[in-house]
Amino acid sequence: MDVKSILAKMSIEEKIDLCCGADFWHSVAFEKYGLPAITVADGPHGLRFQYGESDMLGIHNSVPATCFPTAAATGCSWDIDLLKEIGSAIAEEAQTNGVDAILGPGLNIKRSPLCGRNFEYFSEDPYLTGQLGAAFVLGIQENGVSACLKHFAANSQEYKRFSSNGHVDERTLREIYLSGFEKAVDLGKPSMIMSAYDKINGIYCSDNKWLLTDVLRDEWGFDGIVVTDWGGMHSRVAGFKSGCDWSMPGGGTTHLQRSALKAYQLGELSEHEINKCAKRMVNRILLATANRQCSKEFDKDAHYQMALKAATESAVLLKNDSILPLSVDSVAVIGYMAKNPRYQGSGSSHINPTKLTSLCDAVPDWFYAEGCDQLGNTNEYLLEQAKEAARKSKICVVVAGLPESYESEGFDRNDMKMPNGHIRMIDIVANVNPNTVVVLLCGSPVETPWIDKVKAVIYMGLPGQAGGEAIFDLLTGKANPSGKLPETWPLHYEDAPCAEYYGSPHRDAQYREGIYVGYRYYETATVPVRFPFGYGLSYTRFEYSDLYIEGMNVHVTIKNCGKVDGAEIAQLYVTPPKPGIHRPDKELRGFCKVFLKSGESKEVTFILNERSFAVWEDGWKVQKGKYEIKIASSVRDARLSQIIEINGIEVPVSHWQDGSWYASPKDYPPKEDFEKMLGHLVHAPEPLRKGNFTDENTIAEMAEYSFFVRIVKNAMIKAISKDNGGKPDYNNPTFRMTYASSVDAALFNLAISSCGAMPVNVAYGILEIANGHFFNGIRLLVKKDR
């Protein structure tokens, strides 16, 4: 049957059921209509698929799969072909396991270095994000599996992510937080998009018709399905009206279906609105069924080699005082993570690798000292061992960074600092042996107070299961580092423009810095940084020459002037005319990664278009005037430039711009200027107090005001600590994420994502009791349905 005939046979109740999940990973099957269940799995950097699991508590119990480097690493590759290859390999493993859709890639912008989920995202720049995301999508979908962009949109903090309200102006949304998604939709044609948990200007993303229909579908032409983040359907009725097609997970969530059916019966929800979502669901299920391939084993060795290639090409050489590549065998490897590597992130993307290679596995003959423990702590005994190894060796390689307890889905980092034990370990080794190299394993920038004491630094990000072998190849010159940073590394966290108001204790996100995110701020405000956007060294050197522009095509010649083969990432930035509407000093508008043998030259071409020069001002508009085109090795290393004249219009300047922070950004933007840009005041959330709680509040919040809720909280903590004898372990990122997704999740989210573990009547009974309505709460608790 075709889509139209299937819909004609389905009842309203069946259509509503179709738009809610069956369990944690599957859609509802309607075999009588030829609609089998479709299966989804996590997969931003590898397949996380659970047979027989129905919740997040079995997060580590997934099928063996290739763990590729996370997006924090592959973003450093700036390599479209590489991302497409990774997507293709993950899709092959999905087909092997009968998975129809991969929940990834993540395209959220790295607004702050502290976001706990930054390791899943590519960049602070939307153009780079969109290009890499589109390539990943193409690789997945060319192999018959659906890709799902996430988290749409403005999901920039983990703190209170289930109910945070993002205050943001439309220009900032369009130019920064939506632009990467737009590019990936245009170039990659993804089959699915996941709505984010948060609110944008007071409206939950799942309820947001402007976001999901007006922009995503009507403007961008997206024709796939929108699925909620797990437990992220705020209102099933508003979801139908907004164009949010599929509420996940299912199981124990019949209150969503009941609410939609009741609204339909009362005339508040039309059959036409339900049909639009159901039609997209039927179409996607039929396409997924048609694309299924015969199950076959994937080549684990070939995929390991792919992971090795990805880790190698994503590494960034941050410093090299003529010590790398290593030319001696007397090397000491120091650090817990040299033997037990931090190779992936924590949370829903955690992969069970088919094989894992540490640096110690790759070089078993080098001296080894632990130096610190799993949590990043050290003591005099461990430090003395490290000093002894450093004395015996000509060169020391210290592996450090961030333990897994420092960054994860579910919580944000407290600061940009590395563990004190790692810093002490580096300091002591470097004091004993000046020929010290540091290898950093972390999913986001860190402060580096020790950097002047060491000879070289390689940033590996979170490099996946083959990271240890990649590190050895890079240290010894078998591979030439070619990665460049897709995000700025500030000297100190306080240098970030959002540092004063980002994350805890600020439940709501205020995007006060506007369009000045990452290098857009640091370059415009001329703030010193540790490492600029687009920065990365090589074992060779490259020269740029012969810049010429023909229409919208920019040509430049790049030559490898060194003695070894290598790859260069050339970047094109546009500097706008002044005066006029406030804009960043530079914006990335093109890049090209080119491999050159020693002595080889190649001409590369960047293709610009109107959007390369446009700003959002009630639509995309191009300001007429003179623009400077800069060809650069990093945002602070322009090699060639040329002025071009662009025909356009006079873009009006808002009355509030003159004299505001945005006209000349420096330090932290005042709230008053932000409110002028928004056009309204920003009010703080209502203070917590008994009688004032809603279903947006959490068990953790209400427990502070209710003895009964404290009992519930303690029972929940015991349940999610079952793998640790019922005792909470706040150093365990999986426990912390699970805590944030249950005890500290909004009640409406908990009633959905728990798959029936907390029935909706229980959730709202607890809410009534927390608000002081004890007997009303008890009546709800004992009621079977609500």
Active site residues: 229
Token pair 């899943």: residue:
120
| Distance from C-alpha of 513 to C-alpha of 498, rounded to nearest angstrom | 6
Token pair 């390791």: residue:
119
Helices 126-141 + 179-188 axis angle, to 10:
30
State the burial class of residue 686 (Cβ atoms within 10 Å of its Cβ: 0-12, 13-18, 19+): exposed
Residues with Cβ < 8 Å from 52, sequence gap 6 or more? Answer: none
DSSP code per residue over 178-225: THHHHHHHHHH--SEEEEPSSEETTEEGGG-HIIIIIIIIIIT---SE
Residue type, 763: A
Buried b (16+ CB within 10 A) or exposed e, 26-37: bbbebeebebbb
Residues with Cβ < 8 Å from 18, sequence gap 6 or more? Answer: 10, 27, 28, 30, 35, 278, 281, 282
Residues with Cβ < 8 Å from 533, sequence gap 6 or more? Answer: 124, 125, 485, 486, 487, 488, 518, 519, 522, 588, 634, 635
Phi, psi dihedral angles at 522 (to 5 degrees): -60, -35
Cβ 295 vs Cβ 95: under 8 Å: yes
Structure tokens that stand for 118 in this block: 């930054």
| Distance from C-alpha of 346 to C-alpha of 362, rounded to nearest angstrom | 24
Token pair 């229980």: residue:
762
* Nearest to 121, CA basis, from 406, 405, 409, 317: 409
Count of CB atoms situated within 10 Å of the CB of 153: 28
Cβ 63 vs Cβ 51: under 8 Å: yes
Cβ 24 vs Cβ 251: under 8 Å: yes
What is the H or E stretch that residue 571 is in? strand 566-575
